[in-house]
A and B are shown apart, each in its own frame.
Chain A
Amino acid sequence: NAGVTQTPKFQVLKTGQSMTLQCAQDMNHNSMYWYRQDPGMGLRLIYYSASEGTTDKGEVPNGYNVSRLNKREFSLRLESAAPSQTSVYFCASRKTGGIYSNQPQHFGDGTRLSIL
Chain B
Amino acid sequence: GENVEQHPSTLSVQEGDSAVIKCTYSDSASNYFPWYKQELGKGPQLIIDIRSNVGEKKDQRIAVTLNKTAKHFSLHITETQPEDSAVYFCAASRTGKLIFGQGTTLQVKP
Number of A-B contacts (CB under 8 A): 55
Contacts of A94 in B (CB 8 A): 96
Please determine whether B97 and A48 come into contact, CB atoms closer than 8 angstroms.
Answer: yes
Query: How far in angstroms is the closest Cβ of chain B from A33?
Result: 8
A44 to B44, CA, bound (A): 13
Which bracket fits the contact residues of A?
A: 20 to 34
Q: Is the CB of A109 within 8 A of B100?
A: no
Q: Which of B16-62 contact A (CB under 8 A)?
A: 31-32, 34, 36, 41-46, 49, 51
Instruction: List which A64-116 residues lie within 8 A (CB) of chain B.
Output: 90, 92, 94, 96, 102, 104-110
Could you say which of B6, B45, B93, B102 contacts A107, with CB atoms under 8 Å apart? B45
Q: What distance in Å separates the Cβ of B99 from its nearest Cβ neighbour in chain A?
A: 8
- A50 and B49 CA atoms in complex are apart in Å by 21
Sample of 20 more A-B contacts, CB < 8 Å, known A50-B96, A92-B43, A109-B41: A40-B102, A41-B102, A42-B4, A42-B100, A44-B100, A45-B97, A45-B98, A45-B99, A59-B1, A90-B44, A102-B49, A102-B51, A102-B93, A104-B34, A104-B49, A107-B43, A107-B45, A108-B43, A109-B43, A110-B43
Contact residues of A with B, CB < 8 Å?
Answer: 4, 31, 33, 40-45, 48, 50, 58-59, 90, 92, 94, 96, 102, 104-110
